Structure 1
Amino acid sequence: MPLDCNETFRSLNTGLPDDVARLKAAGYYDEAIARIDARLAEDWTSTQNGPNRAANPTPQGVDAQRIALLAQREMMCRLPREYPYTEAQAVARMQSLVRDFTLEEFRALDRAGRVDWRFVEGVKHYQKRFAETLLDTDPAYGARRLDPGPDGSAARARRRAVHEQMVRTGSASARITVESSIGMSDTAFDAALARAKAQGRDSVHVRAWLPVAAACDTQSDLSIDFASEQPTHVAPADAPQRTVFWEADLTQNRSFTLRYSYTQTARYADPLSFEPDPVQPDFDTGEEAPHIVFTPYLRALAAQLTEGVTSPAEKARRFYDYITLNVRYHYQPAYFVLEDIPTRCAADRRGDCGIMALTFITLCRIAGIPARWQSGLAVGPDKCGCHDWAMFYIAPKGWMYADCSYGGSMARAGEEELRRHYFGNLDPGRMVANRAFEAPFDPPMTGFRADPYDNQCGEIEADGVGLYGDDVVTAKETLRYEEK
């Protein structure tokens, strides 16, 4: 490959050749991949055997497009696994979860844009977590669940208490211990071992990365308390995407486990309570392909939302309000298969925590407001889940936070004070592992990552091939959460 394969995504915005784009849109992925392979082979032959490269530097297209085709090829290999359900299968799944659910009801949801789908071989297939989206975000379906889940009132009560403490004392802290693990499924390991033996080897060369708490303004007293075996490398505490790394030759399948502790401190900030400096900094205000891109749609939206507004804090608030009050929460396919995330979120008005964060960051940057990515886990006494949010900078106050996903959740629950809390603030129930979007690991992966942009559950590769989906088994658990 011409470069780190995970870097190929930075060229996605060059687009696809028209014939390949039409095949991809219709879900004819095998034929699209065959055309990509043929085009890449032609490019290589023309470059190596054709006229002098200096005289003919783009025999079949620009380098960026050839590089992007490598990413697109892998995306199309993965897309069918992200959209596994036919209409009949999707309806059957909903009927197994929701009382008295009908085909007509499903089709009405489809027409209203409430279920995510793509063509696979010319037939509509539905995203693998579409049912969870409906059940977790629509009270009407929550009330019809055959197996009712928690109503979220206890979690909201804890957040109200944290908010009140932060307003009263200026901060809230917790000492947290998390345990996580990653490994190959038995099926994936057996297949990898069989391939290795066919090549004359008796083991699988495995490399694994797990996210770990990084040093940042809100995290302190970091410690690694336990590892199932001696790590090969621990990334520096200030790494953009901090990981613990193992490398081993395995004759039998096993997972890698990590336990770590840290103190998380959330400090209260009201972005509208101070006068912004007349001149603001310009760091972290540029584009970062392929997703933080100033498309015409986003430029027009940013201009419309901020018309007549001069305060950067008020501009940021308007972006936050637009997302939290208009974007419907939808579980997403792997970010690996997505393109132009913020434009799609703003136009379709749906997304998950990371998609909302990227949209907020991009709108802020268009308006000249420095904005950054941050992610890791949302943790608590009874939870440990993946989560993403955003940071934005207003001088003289400095960096503050925007959690559009939590804000949107509070809006759906009618908790306006808590919705406002997450513009400027977080809560101490966080683990920050990543402070940059699309940052490489230390050491970098050889193969394609499961997520080339973010890292919340970890990554693993076998004999240089990155694994994803059901081939990977991960777990994470909060072992201790002590409010301070």
Structure 2
Amino acid sequence: EFKMWKKEGYIDKLIVDNREYFFSRFLDNLFFLNKELEKRRLRKNERAENARKMLNERILNIRKGKKGVYRITAGITITLQEKDSYRVWLPVPTENMQIKNIKILKTDPVSYTISLKSKQRTVHFEAEQKTFGVEFQYDISEVLYDIDPNKVEGVESLDEYLSEKMPHISFTPYLRNLTNRIVGEEKNPYLKAKDIYHWITDNVGYTYVPEYSLFDNISEYVARNLRGDCGMHALLFITMCRIAGVPAKWQSGWYVTPNYASPHDWAQVYIKPYGWIPVDASFGNVRKNNELKRDFYFGALDAFRMISNEDFQVQFDPPKRYMRSDPIDNQRGEVENKKENIYYDKFKCEISVKRFNRIA
């Protein structure tokens, strides 16, 4: 059976010096890609199932106009293997259409700076110790855009969000041809973006992937292999929208539930006169069998978020001296000492949720 799964492409592997190496999370991906195996799973992830039920309830309420505002207290702590003099960048919320009233509650060490210039918001530490952390509070609103396609206007001049951003937003011949087939003769920017969203959520499956630094061109990889994680779904959507002449950009941070949080990425498209609207293709994909829930994630967003990054592949403030562990995003923090970057396998990262309360 294992050989059959390999042959059918369910198991990710690399061949190095004639030896097979399997991706550490291949078992999770096997369940993602082969739905029949889900029936044989002996142990369910009850924590994730409960969060999914809660989220689905909120989707239905938001669709009915019953939007809420939540106050969340969360944080991130990293622990290095040994004490040294480190420079550390940890993600914190950034104010935007959803997030307001941000407060830094406590940090370790006490002295820190907070980024003012970068589109990836961080607290920055420089200290000689093993453990670094930040705890913060923010208010986040559920959003829902009621868009009338007949009222959509022509594309705004937003060149930055219509351009390539190498290497992962690249207008390759393959992606141009695919995008043109999907949007056809459609002229309305909103409907073009929605056609792309539907194609991705219909055809691209969700899987865990190795670190992004190992990929040459993420958007083309996803389009050809029809699989990838949330950030890969987002990058493909952004790339195809830009090819189609629809401004699109990155947004990311954490997926936050009352009990836990984990890294998550999604996108936004600019629809005049409505402005930037959220699009979460990976959340749409896992709900593709329910049209109401799938369409929710094109133009609406829940409050199960901590948003820290408004762009990808950008420099920190202050900048790092050495290459980053994740050159695309920042959700688990970045560390370096006086000699080199400290990669993820050299420190432990813990993301925690302390409070998750509805306030309006």
Please tell me the TM-score bracket, short chain as reference: over 0.9
2:58 partner amino acid: V
Match of 1:385 in 2: 262
Separation in structure 2 between the aligned mates of residue 146 and residue 156 of structure 1, nearest angstrom: 19
Partner SS state of residue 470, structure 1: helix
Match of 1:85 in 2: none
Q: CA deviation at 1:135?
A: 3.3
Among 117, 133, 136, the alignment partner of 1:257 is: 133
2:11 partner amino acid: V
Match of 1:31 in 2: none
Do residues 307 (structure 1) and 187 (structure 2) align? no
Q: CA deviation at 1:276?
A: 1.1
Match of 2:315 in 1: 440
Do residues 417 (structure 1) and 297 (structure 2) align? no
Separation in structure 2 between the aligned mates of residue 226 and residue 255 of structure 1, nearest angstrom: 14
Unpaired stretches in structure 1, ≥5 consecutive residues = 1-104, 190-202
Q: CA deviation at 1:151?
A: 8.5
Do residues 242 (structure 1) and 121 (structure 2) align? yes
Do residues 431 (structure 1) and 306 (structure 2) align? yes
2:67 partner amino acid: S
Gap change, CA 1:278 and 1:460, over 3 Å in 2? closer
Residues 217-228 of structure 1 correspond to what in structure 2 (within 5 A)? 217-228=97-108
Match of 1:173 in 2: 69
Q: CA deviation at 1:163?
A: 2.3
Separation in structure 2 between the aligned mates of residue 398 and residue 118 of structure 1, nearest angstrom: 43
Partner SS state of residue 268, structure 2: strand
Partner SS state of residue 230, structure 1: coil
Match of 1:463 in 2: 338
Among 155, 164, 169, the alignment partner of 1:292 is: 169
Separation in structure 1 between the aligned mates of residue 221 and residue 323 of structure 2, nearest angstrom: 24
Q: CA deviation at 1:155?
A: 3.3
Gap change, CA 1:248 and 1:156, over 3 Å in 2? closer
Gap change, CA 1:108 and 1:369, over 3 Å in 2? same
Q: Deviations over 1:425-458 (max 9, x none)?
A: 1101100110011111111111221101100010
Unpaired stretches in structure 2, ≥5 consecutive residues = none
Q: Deviations over 1:48-103 (max 9, x none)?
A: xxxxxxxxxxxxxxxxxxxxxxxxxxxxxxxxxxxxxxxxxxxxxxxxxxxxxxxx
More helix by share: 1
Q: Which has the higher contact order (CA 8 A, sep 6+)?
A: 2
1:172 partner amino acid: G
1:125 partner amino acid: Y
Q: CA deviation at 1:268?
A: 0.7
Match of 1:481 in 2: 356
Instruction: Percent identity, please.
Output: 34
Whether the 8 Å contact between 2:182 and 2:195 is mirrored in structure 1 is yes
Separation in structure 2 between the aligned mates of residue 141 and residue 152 of structure 1, nearest angstrom: 18
Separation in structure 2 between the aligned mates of residue 390 and residue 207 of structure 1, nearest angstrom: 30
Separation in structure 2 between the aligned mates of residue 458 and residue 274 of structure 1, nearest angstrom: 43
Q: CA deviation at 1:416?
A: 2.2
Do residues 277 (structure 1) and 172 (structure 2) align? no
Partner SS state of residue 330, structure 2: coil
**Greater Cα shift, 117-126 or 145-154:** 145-154
Gap change, CA 1:436 and 1:281, over 3 Å in 2? same
Q: CA deviation at 1:297?
A: 0.5
1:257 partner amino acid: G
Match of 1:26 in 2: none
Separation in structure 2 between the aligned mates of residue 108 and residue 272 of structure 1, nearest angstrom: 48
Q: CA deviation at 1:137?
A: 5.5
2:189 partner amino acid: P
Q: CA deviation at 1:274?
A: 4.6
Q: CA deviation at 1:367?
A: 0.7
Do residues 329 (structure 1) and 225 (structure 2) align? no
Q: CA deviation at 1:170?
A: 6.5
Q: Deviations over 1:347-398 (max 9, x none)?
A: 1100000000000000000011010000000101122010000000110111
Residues 140-151 of structure 1 correspond to what in structure 2 (within 5 A)? 140-150=36-46
Whether the 8 Å contact between 2:279 and 2:298 is mirrored in structure 1 is yes
Do residues 396 (structure 1) and 273 (structure 2) align? yes
**Greater Cα shift, 142-151 or 307-316:** 142-151
Do residues 154 (structure 1) and 65 (structure 2) align? no
Q: CA deviation at 1:271?
A: 4.1
Q: How many residues align?
A: 358
Do residues 211 (structure 1) and 91 (structure 2) align? yes
Separation in structure 2 between the aligned mates of residue 152 and residue 477 of structure 1, nearest angstrom: 15
Separation in structure 2 between the aligned mates of residue 123 and residue 156 of structure 1, nearest angstrom: 39
**Structural RMSD (CA):** 1.8
Separation in structure 2 between the aligned mates of residue 136 and residue 383 of structure 1, nearest angstrom: 21
Q: CA deviation at 1:136?
A: 5.0
2:314 partner amino acid: A
Q: Deviations over 1:189-224 (max 9, x none)?
A: 2xxxxxxxxxxxxx7321111100011121100000
Separation in structure 2 between the aligned mates of residue 126 and residue 348 of structure 1, nearest angstrom: 17
More strand by share: 2
Separation in structure 1 between the aligned mates of residue 38 and residue 285 of structure 2, nearest angstrom: 17
Match of 1:369 in 2: 246
